[in-house]
Amino acid sequence: MSPDAAQPVQPSVDGAMRLCVDDLAVVRGGRAVLHRLSFSLSSGQALIVTGPNGAGKSTLLRALAGLLPHAAGAVALAGGPPDLELPQQAHYLAHSDGMKAALSVEENLEFWSRYLAQAPDRRSRSVAAALGVVGLAHVAAAPFGALSAGQKRRAALARLLVAFRPLWLLDEPLTALDRASREKFAAAMREHCANGGLIVAATHEPLGLDDASTLPLGDALGGALGAAS
């Protein structure tokens, strides 16, 4: 299914944005992990990146986040503030939770709220509201390092909510989450899209985004990796 074939959720704010990836190539360790990959995504849309281990899912997200150089091709996010580069308009959630163990959950999120917010935005949630969304209000004062694996992941997901950024880049976001937490995060992703956001998520599991497009990476016949369907 082509990403452009998705039926987007209509954004509730003015100013549509569009993520365009054109002939992207990424080389790691002398090996072409992604080769001539092209797709586009508009405000209100989500793209699920699938494929076997080693197909380039995490590499794609890291390249979009500006953490890996492009051997060829171009990546652009049109429609946002002209003075901000794409990584400044994106949240990148990887396998690491990005939190300080000695700080409380609330202190961690307050730091990220101040650090990540480019400007006041009504779509940003307060720390208390974000913790309510992920069901962690009762551990706000607890040291992050004392949380269970599932609670740590939920706290990391709350980081996406305290400073609105239009593009979410998510690498296996459901890791360590129970069913109830997955449903809450699915609702948060749908709300993000409804607010004009975009999501690119690499996952092996259903995310609860029925209108999302799928981009399979890897070729079972041994062809070039990264060809969009």
Report whether pLDDT(181) > 70.
yes
Residue 219 — very low, low, confident or very high, per pLDDT cuts 50/70/90?
A: low
Strands (E), 29-116: 31-42, 46-50, 72-78, 90-93
Span 188-214, mean pLDDT?
94
Span 72-88, mean pLDDT?
92
Q: What is the pLDDT of residue 202?
A: 96
Residue 144 — very low, low, confident or very high, per pLDDT cuts 50/70/90?
A: very high
Report whether pLDDT(228) > 80.
no
- Give the closest residue to 112 by CA, choosing from 100, 129, 94, 96: 100
Question: pLDDT digits over 3-61, tens only?
Answer: 333 333 333 344 689 999 999 999 998 889 999 999 999 999 999 999 998 899 999 99
Query: How many residues are there in the chain?
Result: 229
Q: Of all residues in the chain, what percent carry a pLDDT higher than 70?
A: 87
Measured between its terminal Cα atoms, the distance across the chain in Å is 6
Pairing of strands 46-50, 18-28: unpaired
Residues in contact with 216: Cβ distance below 8 Å, sequence separation at least 6, in sequence order: 49, 50, 51, 229
Residues in contact with 80: Cβ distance below 8 Å, sequence separation at least 6, in sequence order: 17, 89, 166
Q: What is the pLDDT of residue 118?
A: 65
**53/59 Cα distance (integer angstroms):** 11
pTM of the predicted protein model: 0.87
Q: Name which residue leads in pLDDT, 180 or 12.
A: 180
Give me 48's structure tokens. Answer: 């699920």
Q: What is the pLDDT of residue 11?
A: 35
**223/229 Cα distance (integer angstroms):** 13
**DSSP characters over 102-138:** TSBHHHHHHHHHHHH-SS--TTPPPHHHHHHHTT-GG
Asked whether 168 and 195 are in contact (CB, 8 A), the reply is no
SS3 of 37, please?
Answer: strand
Q: What is the pLDDT of residue 137?
A: 96
**147/105 Cα distance (integer angstroms):** 9
Count Cβ neighbours within 10 Å for each residue of 158-192 and write b for 16 or more, e otherwise: bbbbbbbbbbbbbbbbbeebeeebbebbbebbbeb
Residue 135 — very low, low, confident or very high, per pLDDT cuts 50/70/90?
A: very high
Span 154-167, mean pLDDT?
95
Span 152-180, mean pLDDT?
95
Residue 121 — very low, low, confident or very high, per pLDDT cuts 50/70/90?
A: confident
Q: What are the Cα distances from residue 196, in Å, to 93, 113, 125, 173, 210?
A: 19, 20, 15, 20, 17
Q: Of all residues in the chain, what percent carry a pLDDT higher than 90?
A: 75
Q: Tell me what the pLDDT averaged over the chain comes to.
A: 87
Q: What is the pLDDT of residue 1?
A: 33
Span 84-99, mean pLDDT?
92
Q: Name the residue ranges covered by the structural domains of the chain.
A: 15-216
CATH of the domain spanning 15-216, picked from 1.10.8.60, 2.170.150.70, 3.40.50.1110, 3.40.50.300: 3.40.50.300
Residue 96 — very low, low, confident or very high, per pLDDT cuts 50/70/90?
A: confident
- Give the closest residue to 62 by CA, choosing from 43, 32, 87: 87
Q: What is the pLDDT of residue 220?
A: 37
